[in-house]
Structure 1
């Protein structure tokens, strides 16, 4: 953005010790939109004062966050918000300059490698084994327990880069590939877990399950490892946690709810006083997705 007299005046006031003055200046800079970010970055590079640099960094973050909020609103308003698009928006919270095209290329390579091994004669379990074998054995995807001191484990771009994620991020990658390959696997909201289920549906034609969706589930998949387990295993789990297995726990989670869950869990990585503002921002994004 061309540096006008107003922008120059605003920049001279960034170091003002009066909080009210700085707040007014900040709001005006934010109102100018993301086009002003290169100007702020240049100011940061030419400013020796670390305290002023921190203020500039926060202004840049706020500008990116405002843009991200608008992106989430547009994503939610789509007739059928796609899971990959939502997951990439979450990545942009930490990586606003994310190279989306590189990620799309990586996922397309994965999809093609799996597709080459699939055919119409495979059973649901054989289909799932193909996907699981390529993802966890060929690509060496690893799963780790949810650890809120490891925020990267929640982000799809880092999962693709490091081949390591938790149940939620690995599960989202698994679901994205299933969507691209017309495999009827969906996430189900079993308490304290992020579990995938293979639904008995016509390939390429997804219909919401009947009143008791449990009867349409053929088996379950743990996205940490790709391990398959049965309804009996799930029933045992419900007995162990002393929760009755009602039909609502077996109804597929919609895309918006999955991304909302990701935002809620990701926000728990930022509970320190220093990062508390990030937790607040992520929870605001999650609330934005309320239906």
Structure 2
């Protein structure tokens, strides 16, 4: 951004020892939006003082975050919630300069390879087996336990690049590919798990009020961490082990907004250390934004 008098003055005041002055200055800088980031980066490069560099870094982060709030608001309010775009917005929290085109290209390449093996004569389970074979055997996608010591396992671009993620991020990639291939795969609301269901397109599970109706609406389930399919009996056995009574609501598909919200909530737990508490608060702020 071309510097004017106000920008020049604001940049020289970043090192003001008065916290009130610094707060006012930083808020005004943030008001300029992402266009001012190159000016801040240039100032950082020419500032030898570590404390001032940390101030500049925090201002840059807040500029990115303010833009991200706007992007999430637009995604929330859009008529169609693109799951890939929502997952990329989550990744941009930690990687604000993320180039999305390579991610989109690689996912499209995966989709084409799966599509070549599909045909209309396959049963739902056979279709899932084709997707699973390409994704987990050919591309060698690996699943990890959900842990909070590696935030990268939650980011869609890292999953696509490194072919490794947890059940949530792998599940999001799985659903993105399934949607591109017109396969009826959705996440379901089973407690304490992120599980995919292969839905029967002839049954309206959204309006199911009885467990038997929900059972009619899902042919089988998929463990997104490794692609393994499993049955209703497996799910019922799990719920029994954890002392949870099956309810129809557990088997209704999660909305894309709720999926991205859950991704943000889980990611926030990666930032529990004192120096990163602000990141946890910001991620929960983004998650709460999707409630509206």
> Which TM-score applies when normalising by structure 1?
0.97
Q: Distance in 2 between matches of 1:62 and 1:98?
A: 17
The corresponding residue for 1:265 is 266
Partner of 2:193, secondary structure, is coil
The corresponding residue for 2:214 is 213
> Which TM-score applies when normalising by structure 2?
0.97
Q: Distance in 2 between matches of 1:161 and 1:198?
A: 26
The corresponding residue for 2:35 is 35
Q: Distance in 2 between matches of 1:80 and 1:122?
A: 29
Q: After the TM superposition, which parts of structure 1 deviate over 6 Å for at least 4 consecutive aligned residues?
A: none
Partner of 1:201, secondary structure, is coil
Is there any run of 5+ residues in structure 2 with no aligned partner, and where? none
Partner of 1:148, secondary structure, is coil
Q: Distance in 1 between matches of 2:71 and 2:218?
A: 34
Say whether the 8 Å CA contact 1:175–1:186 is kept in structure 2: yes
Alignment of 1:125-204 (within 5 A): 125-201=125-201
Q: How far off is 1:162 after superposition?
A: 1.1
Q: Distance in 1 between matches of 2:253 and 2:56?
A: 43
Q: How far off is 1:33 after superposition?
A: 1.0
Partner of 1:220, secondary structure, is strand
Q: How far off is 1:206 after superposition?
A: 8.6
For this pair of structures, how many residues does the alignment match? 289
Say whether the 8 Å CA contact 1:187–1:195 is kept in structure 2: yes
**RMSD between aligned residues:** 1.3
Partner of 1:274, secondary structure, is helix
Say whether the 8 Å CA contact 1:209–1:216 is kept in structure 2: no
Say whether the 8 Å CA contact 1:201–1:207 is kept in structure 2: no
Q: How far off is 1:214 after superposition?
A: 2.7
Q: How far off is 1:12 after superposition?
A: 1.1
Q: How far off is 1:92 after superposition?
A: 0.5
Range with bigger deviation, 149-158 or 76-85: 76-85
Q: Distance in 2 between matches of 1:215 and 1:152?
A: 37
Partner of 1:143, secondary structure, is strand
